[in-house]
């Protein structure tokens, strides 16, 4: 799994390439924590190139959302591929994290 953090206009984009699973969760959490502290707690997790997410990855998304909201920000997800969307729907996480078509749309005007 590869993770990149890119600053954008008032938020940070955390891009995940590969599988967001237990072996890479600590790196993902570190990236999100860094993004929360540097981007005013507004973070978009770009899942466009994420192949799969397991329960550890789901927990990391929830943890990131909590961290961002505790810092008076938000964590949003974008470009969710169908296999990942299925897992989010099965776990009802799609009700907690609203998906946007792309990172730019996630904080567009909000």
pLDDT digits (tens, 9 = 90+) for 63-101: 999 999 999 999 999 999 999 999 999 999 999 998 999
Angle, vertex CA 77, rays to CA 72 and CA 62, nearest 5:
60
Instruction: Determine, yes or no, domain membership for 47.
Output: yes
Instruction: Determine, yes or no, domain membership for 75.
Output: yes
Instruction: Determine, yes or no, domain membership for 58.
Output: yes
Distance CA 102, CA 85 (A): 14
Distance CA 29, CA 90 (A): 22
Q: Tokens 């707690």 sit at which residue? A: 41
At 12 the pLDDT is 95
Instruction: Determine, yes or no, domain membership for 57.
Output: yes
Q: What is the pTM of this model?
A: 0.94
Q: Confirm if 70 and 38 have CB atoms less than 8 A apart.
A: no
CATH number, residue 21 = 3.30.750.24
Instruction: Determine, yes or no, domain membership for 30.
Output: yes
Instruction: Determine, yes or no, domain membership for 109.
Output: no
Q: What is the largest CA-CA distance in the chain?
A: 36
Q: Residue 39: which domain range?
A: 2-104
């Amino acid at each position: 799994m590869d993770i990149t953090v890119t600053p954008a206009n008032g938020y940070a984009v955390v891009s995940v390439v590969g599988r967001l699973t237990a072996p890479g969760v600590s790196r993902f959490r570190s990236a999100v924590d860094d993004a929360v502290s540097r981007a005013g707690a507004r973070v978009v997790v770009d899942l466009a190139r994420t192949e799969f997410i397991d329960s550890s990855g789901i927990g990391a998304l929830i943890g990131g959302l909590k961290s961002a909201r505790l810092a008076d920000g938000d964590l949003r997800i974008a470009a969710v591929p169908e296999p990942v969307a299925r897992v989010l729907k099965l776990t009802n996480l799609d009700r907690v994290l609203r998906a946007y078509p792309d990172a730019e749309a996630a904080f567009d005007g909000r």
